[in-house]
């Protein structure tokens, strides 16, 4: 039953009691009012009956006065009193409410008419004729009995009216007493029902609300360890208790989840900070390695320029070799020495290219590791939710830089492979030149052909060396790009580290705030 129905039921019960009492009182008041409305009519009838009785007695007295004094004014008085009685009796007949009253009023009318006729037609006539004794005899024998019968009927009617008035007053007093008792009883019954009912309703409402208020104060102070409010009623107060219990349960779960998530975020932030520091250290190592690669590339460029100069000298010497066969032997020795030197330089260049290839593989590994760290950072940022969104953007930028580093390293590796292929060609060419020089030393007759081969070989070597120089310049530019990318990567990693530290502090603050709530 709802609280509204309970309250309305209590009010309806109390109002019903008062309504019943008021209805009973109203009914009695209406009855009393109806009885009271008859009182003026009955009083008027009593007055009329008294008037009739008085008039009849006055008629008798006036007749005796005329009998004794024989004055006409007594006759006029007898007539007027008789006419007045007849008028009163006819009025009573016309306004009578009961058939029995009409019959009695008609009987009075007959008595009055007979009395008037007897006095005016007989007694007054005899008196005027001087027959006083006869008139007195008729008055005594006929008039007095008629007067007595008339008065007896009037008294009977008057007694009925008086009895009726007495009954009305008695009933009225009884009804007023009943109304007083009913009103008092209704008031007592309303108090007996209303006060306990109001106390029960107030208690059923106040006690649960006080419990809810008490538990709410605990929640306001951060204490979520309170017990659930157990209220059996199904009214609005019970619904309030159910909603409060649900709110307490959800709030407790929320605080526990916030504490757990804050710990996870703090732990992830510390791991991310450590990973960022490792990435920064790796980036610094990568930068150092790239600087070493740059120095190696510069050395390769210098060696290439040296080889180019040597090739030009070899070409010059080959052209000068046509001046005479006498200097062919010496020139061949010079060419052989230059060829041997070139072979050594080319071998050195091959070793440098191999070293560069190893460094490029190291850069590729570093880029792959950086990409993996960026992926891990993005995953941790996604776990962090809204607070890790900025860190996810930074991790994505780190991943892009790592991919660019890997792409640049791959391009460098391809260039180194090309250089190694060209160096192998140069080694083979130098081997051919050495063989040709040795063959030229043994066979002077083939000097011209050998010189042409040497010139062709030197020109080819010069072109290849120029290709090597161009590749070395491209390698230098790529290394510079890798260095710049590495610097950007280092700055990004430092920013990631700073962000992770801020996130860790925020997680600690969040955990401190959540600890204000006591859940166990």
pLDDT for 474-486, tens place per residue? 766 765 775 676 6
User: Is residue 211 within 8 Å of residue 56, measured between CB atoms?
Assistant: no
- Which residues, other chains included, contact 378 with Cβ-Cβ below 8 Å and sequence gap of 6+? 392, 395, 396, 399
Q: Which residues is 518 bridged to in the sheet?
A: 223
Q: Hunting for tokens 């009912």 — which residue is that?
A: 197
Give the CA-trace dihedral at 475, 481, 485, 491, to 10 degrees. Answer: 120
Query: Which of 429, 486, 499, 437 is CA-nearest to residue 459?
Result: 429
3-state secondary structure of 517: coil
Query: Which of 116, 39, 109 is CA-nearest to residue 75?
Result: 116
pTM over 0.85: no
- Which residues, other chains included, contact 290 with Cβ-Cβ below 8 Å and sequence gap of 6+? 359, 363, 479, 482, 483, 486
Q: How confident is the model at residue 54 (pLDDT cuts 50, 70, 90)?
A: very high
User: Is residue 515 within 8 Å of residue 256, measured between CB atoms?
Assistant: no
What pLDDT sits at residue 297?
54
- Which residues, other chains included, contact 248 with Cβ-Cβ below 8 Å and sequence gap of 6+? 215, 219, 224, 226, 228
> Who wins on pLDDT, 410 or 307?
410
Buried b (16+ CB within 10 A) or exposed e, 31-42: ebeebeeeeeeb
Give tens-digit pLDDT for 78-134.
Answer: 999 999 999 999 999 998 878 888 888 999 999 999 999 998 888 999 998 888 899
Give tens-digit pLDDT for 413-458.
Answer: 888 788 678 768 866 776 776 677 577 667 657 756 765 785 686 5
What pLDDT sits at residue 83?
94
Q: What mean pLDDT is predicted for residues 238-263?
A: 78
Q: How confident is the model at residue 36 (pLDDT cuts 50, 70, 90)?
A: low
Give tens-digit pLDDT for 346-369.
Answer: 678 678 768 767 876 887 887 788
Query: Which of 94, 91, 88 is CA-nearest to residue 112?
Result: 88
H-type helices in 385-446, by residue range? 389-442
pLDDT exceeding 70 applies to what percent of the chain?
A: 78
Give tens-digit pLDDT for 187-207.
Answer: 999 889 888 888 887 877 777
* 51 has a pLDDT exceeding 90: yes
- Cβ of 363: how many Cβ atoms within 10 Å? 24
Q: What is the 3-state secondary structure (H, E, C) of 80-106?
A: HHHHHHHHHHHHHHHHCCCHHHHHHHH
**Residue 99 burial (C-beta neighbours within 10 Å; 0-12, 13-18, 19+):** exposed
Length of the chain: 520
* 77 has a pLDDT exceeding 90: yes
- Which residues, other chains included, contact 408 with Cβ-Cβ below 8 Å and sequence gap of 6+? 363, 478, 481, 482, 485
What pLDDT sits at residue 474?
78
Cα–Cα dist 279/364, whole Å: 14
User: Element (H or E) spanning 267, and its range?
Assistant: helix 236-320
Q: For residue 134, what are its two tokens?
A: 């006869």
Chain-centroid distance, C-alpha 87: 91
Query: Which of 423, 429, 432 is CA-nearest to residue 350?
Result: 423
- Which residues, other chains included, contact 455 with Cβ-Cβ below 8 Å and sequence gap of 6+? 315, 318, 319
Q: What mean pLDDT is predicted for residues 56-67?
A: 89
User: Is residue 453 within 8 Å of residue 440, measured between CB atoms?
Assistant: no
**Residue 519 burial (C-beta neighbours within 10 Å; 0-12, 13-18, 19+):** middle
């Amino acid at each position: 039953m709802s609280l509204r129905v309970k309250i309305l039921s209590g009010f309806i019960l109390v109002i019903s009691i008062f309504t019943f009492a008021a209805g009973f009182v109203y009914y009695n008041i209406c009855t009393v009012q109806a009885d009271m409305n008859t009182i003026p009519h009955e009083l008027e009838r009593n007055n009329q009956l008294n008037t009739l009785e008085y008039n009849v007695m006055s008629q008798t007295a006036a007749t005796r006065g005329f009998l004794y004094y024989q004055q006409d004014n007594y006759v006029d008085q007898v007539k007027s009193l008789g006419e007045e009685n007849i008028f009163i009796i006819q009025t009573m007949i016309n306004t009578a409410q009961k058939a029995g009253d009409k019959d009695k009023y008609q009987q009075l009318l007959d008595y009055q008419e007979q009395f008037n006729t007897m006095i005016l037609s007989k007694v007054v006539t005899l008196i005027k004729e001087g027959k006083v004794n006869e008139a007195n005899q008729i008055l005594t024998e006929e008039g007095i009995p008629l007067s007595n019968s008339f008065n007896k009927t009037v008294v009977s009617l008057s007694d009925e009216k008086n009895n009726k008035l007495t009954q009305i007053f008695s009933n009225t007093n009884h009804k007023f007493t009943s109304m007083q008792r009913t009103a008092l009883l209704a008031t007592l019954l309303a108090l007996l029902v209303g006060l306990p009912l109001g106390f029960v309703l107030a208690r059923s409402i106040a006690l649960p609300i006080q419990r809810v208020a008490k538990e709410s104060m605990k929640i306001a102070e951060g204490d979520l360890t309170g017990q659930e409010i157990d209220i059996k009623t199904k009214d609005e107060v019970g619904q309030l208790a159910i909603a409060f219990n649900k709110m307490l349960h959800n709030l407790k779960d929320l605080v526990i989840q916030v504490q757990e998530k804050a710990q996870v975020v703090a732990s992830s932030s510390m791991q991310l900070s450590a990973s960022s520091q490792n990435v920064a250290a790796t980036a610094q190592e990568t930068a150092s390695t790239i600087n070493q690669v740059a120095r190696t590339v510069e050395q390769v460029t210098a060696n290439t320029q040296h080889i180019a100069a040597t090739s030009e000298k070899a070409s010059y010497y080959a052209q000068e070799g046509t001046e005479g066969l006498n200097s062919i032997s010496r020139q061949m020795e010079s060419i052989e020495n230059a060829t041997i030197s070139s072979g050594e330089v080319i071998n050195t260049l091959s070793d440098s290219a191999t070293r560069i290839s190893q460094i490029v593989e190291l850069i590729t590994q570093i880029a792959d590791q950086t990409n993996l760290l960026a992926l891990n950072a993005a995953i941790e940022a996604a776990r962090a939710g809204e607070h890790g969104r900025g860190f996810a953007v930074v991790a994505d930028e780190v991943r892009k830089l790592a991919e660019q580093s890997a792409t640049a390293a791959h391009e460098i590796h391809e260039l180194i492979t090309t250089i190694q292929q060209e160096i192998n060609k140069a080694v083979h060419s130098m081997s051919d030149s050495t063989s040709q020089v040795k063959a030229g030393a043994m066979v002077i007759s083939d000097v011209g052909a050998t010189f042409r081969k040497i010139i062709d070989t030197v020109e080819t070597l010069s072109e290849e060396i120029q290709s090597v120089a161009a590749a070395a310049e491209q390698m230098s530019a790529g290394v510079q790009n890798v260095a710049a990318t590495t610097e950007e990567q280092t700055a990004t990693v430092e920013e990631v580290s700073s962000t992770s530290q801020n996130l860790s502090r925020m997680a600690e603050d969040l955990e401190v705030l959540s600890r204000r709530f006591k859940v166990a």
